[in-house]
Structure 1
Amino acid sequence: MSGPERVTAGDDRPEDGAADSAPVLGGRPPRRSGLRNPERAVRGLGAGTLSLEALVLVLAIQPIRVVGGDLGGAAIGAVVALAVAAVLLAGMMRRPWAWPAGTALQGLLMLAGLLHWSLFVLGVVFALVWAYALHVRRVILG
């Protein structure tokens, strides 16, 4: 028979016989994220989350003092220290230890709830946001 090779239905191998280099799960190649640089996108997500957390922490000091009352010097110092740590971690998202350190930061913020109840609430909110960022990281990077 002259001409192109016939391909039967269900035969999705390349005609030139080259093997597909991507691992196949359930008969389908893995889904790509569509991002040019997924690692960079995930680092940006983590850095943005930590930067937003730092901003919220610093801006929350005065409303907590006015509305919640009795926000002592130790609590203000803890908030400022946590905000500085969040900014530093946001700048270090290329390091492999930055993601676990960000998780520890969320725990420290919840622990700061011992100084004032509103810090615990902020800790829970940002722990949920951080958990979502970790989920997105796992989905994109595998």
Structure 2
Amino acid sequence: MSKSEQPIEYGPLGPGHAPAKDPMKGLRGVMAGTMMMESISFYLVLTVILRVDGGAYWTTFNWVYVTAVATAMLLLSFMQRFSWAVKANIGIQVFALLGFFVHVSMGIMAIIFIAVWWYLFYLRKNLIERMKRGLLTTQHM
């Protein structure tokens, strides 16, 4: 029997009902806040590329790229309620990681935020699984 065919193992109180409060709404708020902090951090890369090595990294491509990625993150932070936002969050991390070509500091910051996003997606998966099994307190009130 494959994993998808196995019956769901419910908690001791059974499957329960839909949660009284949407737990995904809170998680989306955390994701929006994380994307906003990431956007601010990437806007600060502009000061790094302007000041480091006497502005040697301040090229038109570099500042436009950093500004475009940070602005996309800023706009995406307000779009977390949509179903496509999860895929967009992953996609924007690819562009952030490509920031290594702009300046190493942008790439290092991208790696740090990729680790944060990995953890958020782990929490999201865990929350969805707990909801399926009826393990949330608000499913039994």
Distance 1:30 1:138, change over 3 A: farther
> Structure 1 vs Structure 2: percent identity of aligned residues?
28
Deviation (angstroms), 1:116 = 1.8
Q: How does 1:38-77 map to 2 (within 5 A)?
A: 38-67=23-52, 69-71=55-57, 72-77=59-64
Structure 2 unaligned residues grouped into runs of 5+: 1-6, 130-141
Q: Higher relative contact order at CA 8 Å, sep ≥6: structure 1 or structure 2?
A: 2
More off after superposition, 64-73 vs 127-136: 64-73
Give runs of ≥4 in structure 1 deviating > 4 Å: 29-32
Separation in 1, partners of 2:15, 2:109? 35
Separation in 2, partners of 1:75, 1:35? 48
More helix by share: 2
Deviation (angstroms), 1:29 = 4.4
Contact 1:50–1:86, Cα closer than 8 Å, also in 2: yes
Contact 1:24–1:30, Cα closer than 8 Å, also in 2: no
1:81 maps to amino acid = A
Distance 1:117 1:30, change over 3 A: farther
Deviation (angstroms), 1:65 = 2.8
Pick one of 68, 71, 89 that aligns with 1:102.
89
Separation in 2, partners of 1:121, 1:35? 40
1:26-60 deviations in whole A, cap 9, x for unaligned?
Answer: 7634799x983201111101111100000111123
Pick one of 98, 107, 111 that aligns with 1:111.
98
Q: Corresponding residue for 2:132?
A: none
Q: Corresponding residue for 1:20?
A: none
Count residues in correspondence.
119
Deviation (angstroms), 1:119 = 1.6
Q: Corresponding residue for 2:71?
A: 84
TM-score, normalised on structure 2? 0.72
Distance 1:94 1:27, change over 3 A: closer
Structure 1 unaligned residues grouped into runs of 5+: 1-22
TM-score, normalised on structure 1? 0.72
Deviation (angstroms), 1:92 = 0.9
